[in-house]
Amino acid sequence: MWMIETPAFISFFIGALIAAFTRGFLRNALMIIIPIVSALHLWTLPEGIHLQFTFLNYQLIPYRVDKLSLMFGYVFHIASLIAIIYSLHVKDTIQQVSAMLYAGSALGAVFAGDLLSLFVFWELLAFTSVFLIWARRTQRSYTAGMHYLIIQVLSGVILLVGTLFYAAENNTLAFGYIGLDSIAGWLIFIAFGIKCAFPIAHNWLTEAYPEATVTGTVFLSAFTTKVAVYSLARAYPGTELLVYIGAVMTCFPIFFAVIENDLRRVLAYSLINQVGFMVVGIGIGTALAINGAVSHAFNDVIFKGLLFMSMGAVLQMTGRINGSNLGGLYKTMPKTTILCIIGAASISAFPLFSGFVSKSMVMSAALAQGYDWVWLMLLFASAGVFHHAGIKIPYFAFFAHDSGIQASDPPKNMLFAMAIAAGLCIAIGIYPAALYSLLPYDTGYNPYDATHVLAQTQLLFFSALAFVWLNLKGMYPPELRSTNLDFDWIYRRAMPLMFKNIFSFIWKIDGKVRNKIKESLSYSFTYLAGKNNKLSSMLSRNHPSGSMAMWVAVVLGVYLLLSFIK
């Protein structure tokens, strides 16, 4: 009974404690064992509420298990195991401790049954993950980590305020469907949207993830945005606004990814693109759409992790990650090249790879519900992701030109972790029924009908043809040593410059007004001083007694007249 009621995150928090006080082989062995044992325990866990108590007259449920939370729980354990194996060569205690705490916080969030528990883990996600960015120990990583932490904490503060409003309005803290019918609903929605990297609120991701450590980026890509996707699926299924937000998310990162030189930043934009498909599915809200969103989140954790691992291996072995500095590595890093191509095929939704069996569900649901324009946007986004993640990443890293870099495949633990992820990408693509059996709803969906296969194959073929033609004609955006401007330029450059000019104008006007007032006061004082001298001279003169008597009589007469009037 104790094992059943023990929340999944406890094992990872214990693992963090072990990692802090052990070293070498013992630490590595225990860190691998923890996600395996915890996953086996989760597999045997029945649905229901396994831990609850009362706090300030509110029912708190820190550990609730159902099909939706189990899906994310399973994939978080898989991601943790792969990322831990990938980072076995790292001897940095800070990274290993924070990684275990981060994974545990993500698990705590998806199994939280009340908003207060969710808030606690929401903030823990921010405070534990930022050390994976700072652990790179560069000025850029420190700055990016600070920006990341500020945005993540802001999301938590908004969530807390929304939770307080929600508790006051509904007299409960239960974490279920919330909707947008109240102030609390909108505040919580905004908090989820920030962590989900909604448009305009997305720059924390594209700035911070590429600045994290080689191994830290793999952890980061798996948890934060997926916790936000889970939260939206729990609280806002069928919210139509999400359909349009998600559609924009699928499209706008493509333009930045195509011109970006840093290949890990390309993957960061690609991450937003893939999350957009999940957000669209949640917004549509049908059983097929929710299944598509959840299954795509499951698959994205694995194939995006594989791509980040392959680019991390390149960075680890060459010290470079800009496309303009790479190329020809297929000769010296052949295993990494093959594993990267598998990840690229998966994210591009090639038939027989994992992305195909989940992305097609969201697109089918969009057509079924009459979102024709949204479906066209998703189709465009599918072609775009093939360009920037399916072709650009492996092409410019491994094939574009011979950079002359002498490198080799990374350590065996890194290759083994990538091989596990690649194997899962292929296995899910070949046998999707295993994944579908875990989904919240039974829809009987078959991804491999002739229409889906032919449509996707044609899309990929003509996208590849367009890339080849543009590349041969020299019209494809080249990999340049440059810094691309994103929305953050508005609040980092444009707004400060605007306020600087506004306040400069205000101070200029203020100076002129002050000078005018000073001149006026000076003139007034001079004038009064002159009048005062005249008055003094008048008072100091000698007046005849007769005239004085006359003026006294005049004053008395006026006084008597006024008294009669009353």
How sure is the predictor about 550, in pLDDT bands with cuts at 50, 70 and 90? Answer: low
Mean pLDDT of the chain: 87
Tally Cβ neighbours within 10 Å of residue 359. Answer: 28
How sure is the predictor about 85, in pLDDT bands with cuts at 50, 70 and 90? Answer: very high
How sure is the predictor about 465, in pLDDT bands with cuts at 50, 70 and 90? Answer: confident
b/e 88-103 (16+ beta carbons within 10 angstroms → b): bebebebbbbbbbbbb
Helix, strand, or coil here: 536? Answer: helix
The rounded distance, in Å, linking the Cα atoms of 101 and 34 is 12
Question: Quick one: which of 53, 51, 76, 75 has its CA closest to 64?
Answer: 51
b/e 187-224 (16+ beta carbons within 10 angstroms → b): bbbbbbbbbbbbbebbbbbbbbbbbbbbbbbbbbbbbb
Average pLDDT over every residue of 136-163: 94
420 pLDDT higher than 60? yes
- Phi, psi at residue 53, to the nearest 5°? -160, 170
Give me the pLDDT at residue 175, please: 93
409 pLDDT higher than 70? yes
pLDDT digits (tens, 9 = 90+) for 231-269: 999 999 999 999 999 999 999 999 888 888 899 999 999
* 294 in Cβ contact with 233 (< 8 Å): yes
483 pLDDT higher than 70? no
Give me the pLDDT at residue 532, please: 59
Helix, strand, or coil here: 280? Answer: helix
* 65 in Cβ contact with 113 (< 8 Å): no
- Please count the CA atoms within 13 angstroms of the CA of 389 that sit on its side-chain side: 36
Give me the pLDDT at residue 1, please: 42
Give me the pLDDT at residue 106, please: 96
Give me the pLDDT at residue 557, please: 62
H-type alpha helices, 171-215? 183-195, 203-208
Give me the pLDDT at residue 147, please: 93
pLDDT digits (tens, 9 = 90+) for 12-42: 999 999 889 888 889 899 999 999 999 999 9
534 pLDDT higher than 60? no
547 pLDDT higher than 60? no
Terminal Cα distance for the chain, rounded: 100
Share of the chain above pLDDT 90, in %: 61
- The amino acid sitting at 360 is S
Exposed (0-12), middle (13-18) or buried (19+): which is 404, by Cβ within 10 Å?
exposed
379 pLDDT higher than 50? yes
Among the residue ranges 200-214, 423-437, 493-507, 541-555, the one predicted with the least confidence is 541-555
Better-scored residue on pLDDT, 537 or 273:
273
Q: How far is CA 259 from CA 35, 140, 469, 476, in A?
A: 38, 21, 17, 9
* 232 in Cβ contact with 177 (< 8 Å): no
565 pLDDT higher than 60? no
102 pLDDT higher than 80? yes
Tally Cβ neighbours within 10 Å of residue 387. Answer: 19
pLDDT digits (tens, 9 = 90+) for 295-312: 999 999 999 999 999 999
Better-scored residue on pLDDT, 532 or 414:
414
Give me the pLDDT at residue 543, please: 53
Better-scored residue on pLDDT, 469 or 154:
154
pLDDT digits (tens, 9 = 90+) for 182-207: 999 999 999 999 999 999 888 999 99
Give me the pLDDT at residue 118, please: 95
Among the residue ranges 46-60, 72-86, 341-355, the one predicted with the least confidence is 46-60
Average pLDDT over every residue of 49-65: 85
Among the residue ranges 90-104, 180-194, 314-328, 524-538, the one predicted with the least confidence is 524-538
DSSP 61: E
Average pLDDT over every residue of 269-278: 95
- Please count the CA atoms within 13 angstroms of the CA of 111 that sit on its side-chain side: 28
Give me the pLDDT at residue 2, please: 43
511 pLDDT higher than 80? no
pLDDT digits (tens, 9 = 90+) for 106-135: 999 999 999 999 999 999 999 999 999 999
Among the residue ranges 77-91, 416-430, 490-504, 509-523, the one predicted with the least confidence is 490-504
Give me the pLDDT at residue 38, please: 93
Helix, strand, or coil here: 128? Answer: helix
Q: Name residues whose C-beta falls within 8 Å of residue 217's C-beta, 6 or more positions apart in sequence.
A: 132, 209, 210, 264, 308, 312
515 pLDDT higher than 60? yes
Give me the pLDDT at residue 80, please: 96
Better-scored residue on pLDDT, 214 or 444:
214
